[in-house]
Amino acid sequence: MRALVTGGAGFIGSHIIARLLGEGHEVVCLDNFDPYYDPAVKRENIAPFASDMNFTPVEGDIRDSRLLAQVLEDVDYVFHEAAQAGVRISVDDPIKPHEVNATGTLTLLLAARDAGVRKVIYASSSSVYGTVKYLPFDEYHPTLPVSPYGVSKLMAEHYCRAFDDLYDLPTCSLRYFTVYGPRMRPDLAISIFTRHALKNEPITIFGDGEKTRDFTYIDDIVDANIIAMTKGKGVYNIGGGHRVSIQTLAEKIIEITGSASETRYAEAVKGDAEHTFAGTEKAKRELGWAPQTTLEEGLKRYTAWVSTSQS
């Protein structure tokens, strides 16, 4: 089996590649090494794969239709992880997430259709829900995103659905809920809190700390993607199935690290959802997937990885 992983040098993409290569599949990694965060971090993510004969790295953009036609040759499955991430940055610059997440996904779907790809597994986001009507979110909850990022991810979902219906290109959209673990993006709360805690530095919380999130460990995300190659159609929540406040998260990290850090507070950021909480019954029923890693265990694993990588 041959797979294309877009955004393959990023956090989630590189973990999917590791699993695929470990199972003996051929993998093409497409990444443009956007400087949203240090490209050197992304190059380091895929450095361990360089000696694997089944690994082919390609530097380029998902909006380049000619390049996509080349990299999709003989590809069976596409794991579409490439995106302009960041709720907060999307508030300042709504154009880029639209171009990358919506137009980029449309360009990829067209190329995948023309290449005869067997299935596209798309990395969507809990940000598509936005305004809370009830919790936990199920897949029938209204989608009222509160940031341009969320809007762009929802648009891409609709393109996936339309291509499945119109062109018989099977697609599956996995709505990730705040993914964390080794190699996670450095701008995310768990990464920032853990690194500050290990240095006994103050931890800054935006807002009053009462916003809640459902955090999902990276191994569970990868499991869902691998399962989605052969099962599932439409959208699925892929979350940890628990809800914790940002204040409690900071306290857990301080406890796990044995830190002397104190929490501080700053003005809340526009575009941040108030709450996320995944109802995963549909994924369990149709994919046979359920989260396996508790938040406590995941934070311990991540802390151990950060401690080792900083030493």
pLDDT in tens, 43-82: 999 999 999 999 999 999 999 999 999 999 999 999 999 9
What's the whole-number average pLDDT of the chain? 96
Confidence bin at 311 (pLDDT 50/70/90) = low
235 within a domain of the structure (yes/no): yes
257 within a domain of the structure (yes/no): no
pLDDT for 175-215, tens place per residue? 999 999 999 999 899 999 999 999 999 999 999 999 999 99
Query: Does 310 score more than 80 pLDDT?
Result: no
Residue 238 bridge partners (DSSP): 176
Count of domains observed in the chain = 1
Residues above pLDDT 70, as percent of the chain:
99
pLDDT for 1-34, tens place per residue? 999 999 999 999 999 999 999 999 999 999 999 9
* 8 Å CB contact between 173 and 235: yes
| pLDDT value for 200 | 97
| pLDDT value for 272 | 83
- Angstrom distance (rounded) from CA 16 to CA 181: 13
Within its chain, how far is the Cα of 307 from the centroid?
23
163 within a domain of the structure (yes/no): yes
171 within a domain of the structure (yes/no): yes
| pLDDT value for 87 | 87
97 within a domain of the structure (yes/no): yes
**For residues 220-227, average pLDDT:** 98
- CA neighbor of 253 nearest in space, from 210, 171, 194: 194
Cα distances (angstroms) measured from residue 72 to each of 12, 25, 66, 310: 20, 15, 10, 37
146 within a domain of the structure (yes/no): yes
Positions marked active-site: 149
Cβ neighbours, 10 Å, residue 4: 28
CATH number of the domain residue 222 falls in:
3.40.50.720
159 within a domain of the structure (yes/no): yes
225 within a domain of the structure (yes/no): yes
- Angstrom distance (rounded) from CA 221 to CA 154: 19
Range of the domain at 13: 2-179+217-239+280-291
Q: Return phi, psi of residue 226, to 5°.
A: -65, -45
